[in-house]
Every structure is written in structure tokens, then in C-alpha cells.
């Protein structure tokens, strides 16, 4: 499989990307690209690689990227780096005061000078500290070192990302996927009850944590409320996400988010429905050769029908996801609780239908 580079920002993407999701520039092929056997083969896996590549930057020795084996703030013994996102690095660490294993998200030093990035991270901490639900990742504390590194401390959650499970296993069966979606709905309903909208739901922001009581022995945990927004905003918060400024992941944005309109819980319902579609089919319901084309498709067109891609899936599940992906928010499920109830009914109808056919 060939890799392609953006000549403007130098980010590298795997096929099938043709345009840079960051700035829309046409991509050029990179010489000596890895063969297809070196990367995930499913279409969902390819899109995951593209999305992850969009977050990565070139090598550098900035302080936030070299904390392994250091004692952070005289309290956290930093271990290996677990990953990095658009504005942070994440490390495994040990709290030396109580021997608890934690994860630490460190704001990249070159971004900490950007006041809006700092305010967004502080807001993430402030919101997530209010969350207390088994299907939502908590934030323990927000800290700042003497030399200016800003960091968040979170529980370390062993397991794998939903995106990695999709790459490893392909499309997920309904009797496994629906209970996971219901768990996500419950966690998000908890957030919505606190007037918090996530705004960046995607498989990379869902962790599957080992849990004997969960479907397939796992529990879904919603991660990264970094783009989360309170529906009731203070003026200074509103400035960070003013109308016309689009934040989020293009493949999963609701139409109103693409337009830069005000968002509520129904935007998360739309995004979670796209996550569900990809979980069960390995494809996205809207197609395009670039992130921009996929966003335009959501504004102008209709999603693929679930059973166009996989005819053996329950018809009721198709109806539920179609409703959740309605262009007009008023035509979607009113709450995450209602979406969860509809999903549970769709799974049961599918089970009964299969039994009847037998």
C-alpha cells in the first residue's frame, strides 16, 4: 500500500486518502511506501490509519515528548509514552504518593503558548472532573510544573481502542456491538444530564476495558472530552468555539457541526450512529474522496442504508440508525436514553427474526 504526503503540512497518510484532512491539499505519493501486508486490510482499518496519521507530527525533541523515566512535578514517575494527539502526549505513570497507576496527558509545549489551547485543556479538566460514570473516563486533577508543562491525570484504562478492535476483527457482530453502544449511550446521557456535549465521538475515543460483566468481557468507556462543550456557556468559553469555527473529526461530524451551528445532545447521537454504522459494516455511511467531500455529502445527500452493505443485519437496526442520522436534529432520537432503548429493541428484533427463520 502506498503512502501519501501533504506538500503543505508534510503529514503522511495511508491510502485511500487523496486530500489532506487538515488543509485540503492534494497528496503526493511517498517513495518507498510500506507494502499492503504491513497495514490493516479492512476499509475501516484504512480509515483509522488515515485518521491517526492526521494527528501525528514529525519527530522533535520538545520537552513534552521526552518525559519517559522522569519524575513529573515531584509526584508522578513517568513510564512509556502511550500515544499522542493533536495537542498532547499521553504517558503511563505511577503516582508515588499512593502507588496508583495513572495516565498523564501533557499539553505540547509549542501549543501551551496558545491561550485558546490552554483554556480548552483547562475546560476539559473542569468538565471531566464532574463526570462520574463507569462508561466515561474521569479526570483526577489538572497540574502545571514549575517550568510550565500543563498536564491532566486520569485513571489508566487497560484494554484496546474500539478502532483497534475494528482493525483486528473487522465488522462486529450485532450481539456484541449493540450492548457496547448502549453502554456508550448511558455514559453520554450522564454527560448530557450535566449539560456537556462531547462533540468528537469516534472509534479512537472509545476504550474497550476488560470487564467480566460486559459483552464479550469488555466495557466501553468514552474518552477525551477535549472538545466537549457545555450547552450553557460562559461568554469566554463561547469565544473558543464561536459559530463558524469547526472542531471535531470530519468523518463523524453532524451536519450542524459542519455548518458551525449551535450543538446539543442530538449532535452526539448523530456521531454515535456513524460510529455504529462503521462498527457493523466496516464502512462509513457517507462516501467521498476527501474529508471535504464527505462533509458535503452529509449536507446534501442521504446515508447508505445499513443493509445495502450487509443484508443480513436486522432491518430494525437499519431504521434506528437512519433516524439517528437524520439531517434535521429534530427528526433524530431526542436523547441518548431514547437512542439506547431503540438500539436494544433493534437487537431483540434481530434475535427473534433469526430464531423465526430457523
Q: Are 60 and 89 in contact (CB under 8 A)?
A: no
3-class state of residue 244 by DSSP = coil
Give DSSP secondary structure letters for 200-234.
---GGGEEEEE-TTSGGGEEEEE---TT-EESS--
Active site residue 200: yes
Q: What is the pLDDT of residue 148?
A: 79
* Model confidence, pTM: 0.75
What tens digit of pLDDT does each residue of 81-100 get? 988 766 678 999 999 999 99
Cα–Cα distance measured from residue 68 to residue 18, given in angstroms and rounded to the nearest whole number: 36
Across 25-34, 191-200, 218-227, 325-334, which has the greatest mean pLDDT? Answer: 325-334
Q: Which residues pair with 104 in a beta bridge?
A: 91, 153
Q: Matching CATH topology for 63-155 and 160-357? A: no
Residue 11, pLDDT score: 64
First to last CA, the chain: 42
| Res 328: pLDDT | 93
Residue 292 confidence (pLDDT): 79
- Considering only CA atoms, which of 219, 222, 227 is closest in space to residue 205? 222
The yes-or-no verdict on residue 112 having pLDDT over 70 is no
For residue range 266-307, list pLDDT tens digits in order: 999 999 999 999 999 999 998 877 777 878 888 886 888 999
Alpha-carbon torsion (227, 231, 235, 239), positive or negative: positive
In this predicted structure, the answer to whether residue 8 has a pLDDT above a threshold of 60 is no
Do residues 198 and 184 touch, judged by C-beta distance below 8 A?
A: no
Q: Is the pLDDT of residue 6 over 90?
A: no
Q: Which of 92, 316, 125 lies closest to 225, judged by CA?
A: 125
Q: Within the chain, how many helices (H) and strands (E) appear?
A: 12, 14
CATH code for residues 160-357: 1.10.510.10
Decide if pLDDT at 56 tops 80.
no
For residue 270, the model assigns a pLDDT of 95
Domain ranges of the chain: 3-53, 63-155, 160-357
* Angle CA 154–159–165, to nearest 5: 125
Maximum separation of any 2 CA atoms in the chain, in Å: 68
Distance CA 12, CA 56 (A): 9
Q: Looking at residues 185-201, what average pLDDT do you find?
A: 92
For the chain, strand residue ranges (E) read 3-5, 12-14, 28-29, 71-72, 76-84, 88-95, 100-107, 141-144, 150-155, 160-161, 196-197, 206-210, 218-222, 229-230
Q: Distance between CA 19 and CA 24 in Å, rounded?
A: 5
Residues 6+ apart with CB under 8 A from 48: 40, 163, 164, 166, 167, 203, 204
pLDDT of res. 289:
78
Burial class of residue 240 (count of CB atoms within 10 Å of its CB; 0-12, 13-18, 19+): middle
What's the grid cell of residue 345?
429493541
Q: Which CATH superfamily is domain 63-155 in?
A: Phosphorylase Kinase; domain 1 (3.30.200.20)
Nearest to 184 by CA among 311, 315, 88, 276: 276
Structure-block grid coordinates of residue 174: 450485532
**Is the model more confident about 291 or about 26?**
291
| From 175, 193, 200, 268, the catalytic residue | 200
Query: What is the structure's pLDDT at 188?
Result: 97
Average pLDDT, the chain: 78
Is the Cβ–Cβ distance between 272 and 339 less than 8 Å? yes
What was the pLDDT predicted at 123?
74
pLDDT band with cut points at 50, 70 and 90 for residue 186: very high
Half-sphere exposure (Cβ direction) of 274: Cα atoms closer than 13 Å: 29
Between residues 297 and 124, which one has the greater pLDDT?
Answer: 297
Q: DSSP code of 325?
A: T
Amino acid at each position: 500500500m502506498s503512502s501519501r504526503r501533504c506538500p503543505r503540512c508534510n503529514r503522511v497518510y495511508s491510502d485511500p486518502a487523496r486530500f489532506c484532512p487538515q488543509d485540503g491539499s492534494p497528496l503526493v505519493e511517498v517513495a518507498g511506501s510500506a507494502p499492503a501486508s504491513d497495514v490493516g486490510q479492512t476499509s475501516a482499518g484504512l480509515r483509522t490509519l488515515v485518521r491517526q496519521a492526521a494527528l501525528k507530527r514529525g519527530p522533535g525533541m520538545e520537552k513534552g515528548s521526552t518525559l519517559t523515566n522522569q519524575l513529573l512535578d515531584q509526584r508522578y514517575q513517568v513510564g512509556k509514552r502511550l500515544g499522542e494527539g493533536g495537542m498532547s502526549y499521553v504517558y503511563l505513570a505511577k503516582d508515588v504518593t499512593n502507588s496508583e497507576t495513572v495516565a498523564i496527558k501533557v499539553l505540547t509545549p509549542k501549543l501551551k503558548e496558545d491561550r485558546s489551547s490552554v483554556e480548552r485543556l483547562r475546560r476539559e479538566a473542569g468538565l471531566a472532573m464532574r463526570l462520574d460514570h463507569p462508561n466515561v473516563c474521569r479526570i483526577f486533577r489538572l497540574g502545571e510544573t514549575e517550568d510550565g508543562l500543563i498536564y491532566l491525570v486520569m485513571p489508566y484504562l487497560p484494554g484496546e481502542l474500539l478502532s483497534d478492535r475494528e482493525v483486528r476483527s473487522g465488522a462486529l457482530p450485532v450481539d456484541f456491538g449493540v450492548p457496547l453502544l448502549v453502554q456508550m449511550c448511558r455514559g453520554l446521557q450522564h454527560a448530557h444530564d450535566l449539560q456537556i456535549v462531547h462533540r468528537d465521538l469516534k472509534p479512537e475515543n472509545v476504550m474497550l476495558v476488560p470487564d467480566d460483566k460486559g459483552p464479550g468481557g469488555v466495557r466501553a468507556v468514552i474518552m477525551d472530552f477535549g472538545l466537549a462543550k457545555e450547552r450553557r456557556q460562559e461568554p469566554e468559553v463561547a469565544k473558543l468555539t464561536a459559530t463558524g469555527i469547526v472542531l471535531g473529526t470530519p468523518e463523524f461530524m453532524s451536519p450542524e457541526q459542519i455548518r458551525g451551528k449551535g450543538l446539543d445532545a442530538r449532535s452526539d447521537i448523530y456521531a454515535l450512529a456513524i460510529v455504529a454504522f462503521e462498527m457493523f459494516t466496516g464502512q462509513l455511511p457517507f462516501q467521498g474522496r476527501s474529508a471535504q467531500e464527505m462533509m458535503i455529502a452529509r449536507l446534501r445527500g442521504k446515508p447508505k442504508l445499513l443493509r445495502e452493505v450487509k443484508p443480513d443485519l436486522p432491518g430494525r437496526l437499519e431504521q434506528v440508525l437512519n433516524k439517528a442520522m437524520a439531517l434535521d436534529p429534530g427528526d433524530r432520537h431526542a436523547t441518548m436514553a431514547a437512542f439506547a432503548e431503540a438500539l436494544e429493541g433493534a437487537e431483540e428484533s434481530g434475535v427473534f427474526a433469526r430464531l423465526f427463520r430457523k
